[in-house]
């Protein structure tokens, strides 16, 4: 189980909410799926004010009603709201939508025009006020983290695009974070649109394991104890399949098959984003 820099253990497999809250008719099913995930031990839920312009946070609020103590709650602030005053106001809105008093981990969604130092100042004010317990970043590369300077010691995580299709962060970002005992959160670990899951190499490994391609893709991210994987699922069967991926142990042969199809990076690459 990964641990945050302050020693707090968090689940290696959580639940994402990107695209939730976009359709009113689907919200009940989405909340039900998140609750099922909680029942199955996926107690980290990641959301953002950007997702459905607050709609996903409302779904999360419905899902965790009466179960707040079980949940490690992560949300993110828009870059244009990440100013000294703007981040405080945005956090207040997120708290209201989720009907909670505190966010366990509050992230800068990506870098914008607001200086990082100003965003950190706002985060620290929120932490002092008890509105958030920790802060971190998302979609930031090594140079961004280095720019934090001494404040890097208080940065709890970096959430980035990481999957078999997008391995660039392995070259320098993952080692940089691991050296500082900072877990990395992998968003879209099974890709978007299904292209990754149709790859022949993934199908071969899935057949050997008696698993689904999605489970193999998740298990691949979970092979590293410093990674927290946050797939989104709104179908009960997919939620159960995701949870079962924790029990999947990829063999050396499996990993070699996947490395041959999705080569690890040999040089620095620009940070990929969706």
Q: Is 187 a catalytic residue?
A: no
Catalytic entry in 51, 106, 162, 187: 51
The Cα–Cα gap between 137 and 159 comes to: 6
Task: Provide the annotated active-site residues.
Answer: 51
């Amino acid at each position: 189980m990964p641990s945050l820099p302050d020693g707090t253990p968090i689940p290696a497999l959580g639940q994402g909410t990107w695209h939730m809250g976009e359709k009113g008719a689907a919200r009940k099913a989405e909340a039900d799926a998140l609750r099922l995930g909680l029942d199955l031990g996926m107690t980290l839920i990641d959301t953002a004010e950007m997702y459905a312009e607050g709609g996903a946070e409302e779904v999360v609020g419905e899902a965790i009603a009466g179960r707040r103590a079980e949940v490690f709650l992560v949300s993110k602030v828009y870059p244009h709201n990440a100013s000294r005053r703007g981040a405080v106001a945005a956090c207040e809105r997120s708290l209201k939508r989720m009907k909670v008093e505190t966010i366990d981990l509050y992230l800068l969604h990506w870098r914008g025009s607001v200086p990082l130092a100003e965003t950190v100042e706002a985060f620290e004010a929120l932490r002092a006020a008890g509105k958030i317990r920790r802060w971190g970043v998302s979609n930031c590369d090594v140079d961004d983290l280095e720019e934090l300077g001494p404040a890097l010691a208080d940065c709890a995580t970096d959430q980035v695009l990481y999957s078999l299709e997008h391995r660039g962060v392995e070259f320098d970002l993952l080692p940089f974070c691991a050296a500082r005992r900072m877990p990395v959160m992998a968003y879209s670990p099974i890709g978007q649109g299904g292209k990754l899951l149709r790859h022949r190499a993934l199908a071969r490994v899935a057949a050997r394991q008696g698993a689904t391609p999605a489970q193999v893709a998740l298990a691949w991210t979970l092979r590293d104890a410093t990674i927290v994987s946050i797939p989104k699922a709104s179908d009960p069967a997919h939620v159960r399949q995701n949870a079962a991926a924790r029990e999947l142990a990829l063999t050396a042969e499996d990993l070699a098959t996947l490395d041959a199809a999705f080569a690890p990076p040999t040089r620095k690459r620009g940070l990929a984003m969706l």
